[in-house]
Amino acid sequence: MRVLLVEDDRMIGEAIEQALKDATYAVDWVRNGAEALTTLQVQNYGLVLLDLGLPGKDGLEVLRVIRAHDNPVPVLIVTARDGLEDRLRGLDGGADDYILKPFEMAELLARMRTVTRRKGGVSGPTLSNGVLTLDPVTREVRLNGTTSHLSAREYSLLHALMIRPGAILSRVELEDRLYGWNEEVESNAVEFLIHSLRKKLGKDVIKNVRGMGWMVSKAK
């Protein structure tokens, strides 16, 4: 999943960026509100991590503009503002969750998983299409009672497909979810990952829709 990190503190931003990359997220990091809004106009994200104390446009103003444009992207506020009024303004303004600095990275990652599951209409901790079950915590996939371990990229690609079983994702859409701005994308990277997943899970698990992209089937 591709995440937009909006954080002006260099030390905090670097720590969060590295933690997200280690957790297989693709990350784009901007340092002010105006840049965040410009970026959101040209790139789709699975989640926004939004600080409130930003230079120029404050985080609450950024959130207001995001929702005023009917952008449904999940927003998780990450801030040192611990006042009840700030929390209420953020949540009432359209944020999906709120976490206070300082925090443990494990809690941030757990809240991110919860927000994205909720936005995807998934109530439980795992993703399933009735055949495959993907665990975002362990990054393991279960098929016919057998558990397989996935590499970081394999997990990210399968996760992108499992969020919406039955939806077709093109090569460009998959690359957008797998890679951030500064990451080089090999021309056949998506095909290589799908080939690798099919070797582990079977050739029929990920279906190719000619000329359009790839999908996993919906539960019957």
Per-residue model confidence (pLDDT) at position 86: 85
**Token match 């090569």: residue?**
171
The Cα 49–Cα 97 span in angstroms is: 10
Q: Which two tokens stand for residue 58?
A: 């404050």
Domain with CATH 3.40.50.2300 in the chain: 2-119
131, 110 Cβ separation under 8 angstroms: no
Per-residue model confidence (pLDDT) at position 186: 75
Domain with CATH 1.10.10.10 in the chain: 127-215
For 7-37, write each residue's pLDDT tens digit.
Answer: 999 999 999 999 999 888 999 999 999 999 9
| Mean pLDDT, rounded, for 179-188 | 77
DSSP-assigned letters across all residues of the chain:
-EEEEE---HHHHHHHHHHHHHTT-EEEEE-SHHHHHHHHHH---SEEEE-SS-SSS-HHHHHHHHHHTT----EEEEES---HHHHHHHHHTT-SEEEESS--HHHHHHHHHHHHHHHTT--SSSEE-SSEEEETTTTEEEETTEEEE--HHHHHHHHHHHTSTT--B-HHHHHHHH--TT----TTHHHHHHHHHHHHH-TTSSEEETTTEEE-PPP-
- pLDDT-derived band of residue 124, with 50, 70 and 90 as boundaries? low
pTM, two decimals, is: 0.75
**What is the architecture of the domain spanning 127-215?**
Orthogonal Bundle (1.10)
For 125-134, write each residue's pLDDT tens digit.
Answer: 688 888 899 9
% of residues, the chain, pLDDT over 90: 55
Q: Identify the CATH number of the domain defined by range 2-119.
A: 3.40.50.2300
Per-residue model confidence (pLDDT) at position 122: 55
